[in-house]
């Protein structure tokens, strides 16, 4: 059943993104007076086709649904001679400005789609973790700022001046800190500390390099969602947890006096204390002896080798269940569009920077993903609900737009590069050079596709 959901979600995602991208090319081409011969969803043998009586465009659904194309009238294409009456409608006879507009329309359509999808998510509302900070690891940015755990972040402002922006959820906090990290800014977070009022916490993100701004950058800064409950879902036979007296259903309230309200923070603490005794404050579960009673249990994490890092880490042999405080976030129509545009811009900039880091070797090529990973995430997001799937669709749409704008021949960005050279020099790039560059560009695309597919297989079979 999960495989079927993944395949359907993947087909819907690819279908929507390809149609939007190609319709961008098609609509601007028609607006510029260019004759469109074929609008194809997919490549290869046509499965279905029909011809518009009004425009003469052939609409096709092909057998390989991993892309699409718009074929325009062009004198450079081999085939039957073009009737003299149609020559003014040939793509190659258009001005440089029109050709740039037609080629750029595809990626721009993807960005517009992302803005619309994000705006829809913001307007309809989404349930997200509250912006409550867990106790940070010592000597992290969050710890140095003064966070102790349990504070609720309500605003962020530039340390050099400016109005404070409201923080509504953990996701909202993450995106605001991501933007500040990209710009190497100093910011001030306003947070409520229980019932004691609102305090300012200065964060210095100037020393954070682009290499450190990745999916894990919040944890690196010392920020993890807090305020939740950490319960024991199960205890493994013969484990350190069982020997210490930990029972399924117990709630872990603290570890060595530190609040235990985040699974990641708790697990990392246990990992760093291999073979060292730690004290857990436990609230007995409702089905256990003395329900509700608080007990201190001393537990010595066993020493095991971590398969990912090869290092010796601590394990207690307990399965954890977490429940994080959540909040329903909803915005008005205008604010939703503004936030959608900002989220799209931030993700596009992040994608470009990540790709640049991969080129210079500052980021691993393992960050590239192919169709298998996309299908996997399509299925997972579809199972989470409409908001998650729309957000996923927007993310992939942005990635598609950025990818197509890269200055690689055979992509839209490569053609844009040709036309920009023509606009500056007044001379078109010769057919010979275009052929050479096209072959080089095709080699780049094949190499990137091979790396992405290898990464997909590596994630799938864990090697």
Residues belonging to the active site? 22
The dihedral built from the CA positions of residue 239, 245, 250 and 255, taken in this order, carries a sign that is negative
Give the span between the Cα atoms of 416 and 422, in whole angstroms.
10
Give the span between the Cα atoms of 323 and 449, in whole angstroms.
39
Structure tokens, 308? 């990912």
CA angle centred on 279, ends 278 and 280, rounded to 5°: 120
Cα–Cα nearest to 6, from 384, 395, 367: 384
Cα–Cα nearest to 148, from 246, 259, 46: 259
- Are 192 and 154 in contact by the 8 Å Cβ rule? The answer is yes
- How many residues belong to the chain? 463
Cα–Cα nearest to 315, from 284, 280, 271: 271
Helix (H) or strand (E) holding 29: helix 2-31
309: Cβ contacts below 8 Å, ≥ 6 apart: none
DSSP state of 314: E
Give the span between the Cα atoms of 44 and 119, in whole angstroms.
36
Give the span between the Cα atoms of 372 and 366, in whole angstroms.
14
Strand 302-305, strand 312-315: pairing: antiparallel
Cα–Cα nearest to 134, from 271, 304, 254: 254
Give the span between the Cα atoms of 127 and 256, in whole angstroms.
32
Cα–Cα nearest to 415, from 40, 105, 64, 20: 105
Cα-Cα end-to-end distance for the chain: 26
CA angle centred on 415, ends 414 and 420, rounded to 5°: 100
375: Cβ contacts below 8 Å, ≥ 6 apart: 6, 7, 9, 10
* Three-class SS state of 113: helix
Helix 412-425 vs helix 431-461: angle between axes, to the nearest 10 degrees? Answer: 150
């Amino acid at each position: 059943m999960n495989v079927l959901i993944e395949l359907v979600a993947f087909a819907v995602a690819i279908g929507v993104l390809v149609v939007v991208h190609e319709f961008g090319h098609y609509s601007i081409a028609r607006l510029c007076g260019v004759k469109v011969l074929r609008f194809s969803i997919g490549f290869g043998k046509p499965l279905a086709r029909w011809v518009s009586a009004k425009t003469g465009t052939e609409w096709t659904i092909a057998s390989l649904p991993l892309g699409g194309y718009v074929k325009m009238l062009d004198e450079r294409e081999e085939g039957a001679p073009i009737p003299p009456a149609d020559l003014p409608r040939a793509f190659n006879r258009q001005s440089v400005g029109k050709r740039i507009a037609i080629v750029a329309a595809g990626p721009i359509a993807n960005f517009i789609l992302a803005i619309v999808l994000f705006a829809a998510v913001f307007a309809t509302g989404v349930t997200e973790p509250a912006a409550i900070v867990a106790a940070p690891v010592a000597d992290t940015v969050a710890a140095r700022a003064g966070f102790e755990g349990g504070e609720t972040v309500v605003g962020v402002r530039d340390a050099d001046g400016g109005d404070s922006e409201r923080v509504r959820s953990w996701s909202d906090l993450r995106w605001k800190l991501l933007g500040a990290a990209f710009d190497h800014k100093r910011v001030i977070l306003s947070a409520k500390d229980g019932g004691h009022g609102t305090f300012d916490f200065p964060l210095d993100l100037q020393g954070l390099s682009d290499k450190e701004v990745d999916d894990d950058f919040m944890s690196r800064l010392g920020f993890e969602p807090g305020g939740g409950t950490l319960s024991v879902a199960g205890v493994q036979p013969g484990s350190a947890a069982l020997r210490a007296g930990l029972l399924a259903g117990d709630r872990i309230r603290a570890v060595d006096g530190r609040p235990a309200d985040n699974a990641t923070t708790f697990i990392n603490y246990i990992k760093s204390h291999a073979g060292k005794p730690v004290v857990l404050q436990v609230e007995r579960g409702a089905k256990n002896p003395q329900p509700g009673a608080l007990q201190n249990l001393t537990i010595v994490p066993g020493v095991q080798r971590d398969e990912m890092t090869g290092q010796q880490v601590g394990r207690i042999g307990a399965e954890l269940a977490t429940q994080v405080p959540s909040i329903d976030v909803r915005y008005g129509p205008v604010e939703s569009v503004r936030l959608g545009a900002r989220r799209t811009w931030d993700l596009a900039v992040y994608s470009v920077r990540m790709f640049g880091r991969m080129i210079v070797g500052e980021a691993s090529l393992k960050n590239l993903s192919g169709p298998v990973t996309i299908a996997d995430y399509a299925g997972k997001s579809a199972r989470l609900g409409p908001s998650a799937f729309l957000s996923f669709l927007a993310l992939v749409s942005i990635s598609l737009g950025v990818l197509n704008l890269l200055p690689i021949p055979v992509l839209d960005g490569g053609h844009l590069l040709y036309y920009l050279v023509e606009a500056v020099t007044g001379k078109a790039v010769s057919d010979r050079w275009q052929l050479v560059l096209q072959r080089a560009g095709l080699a780049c695309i094949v190499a990137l596709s091979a790396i992405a597919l290898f990464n997909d297989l590596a994630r799938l079979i864990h090697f």
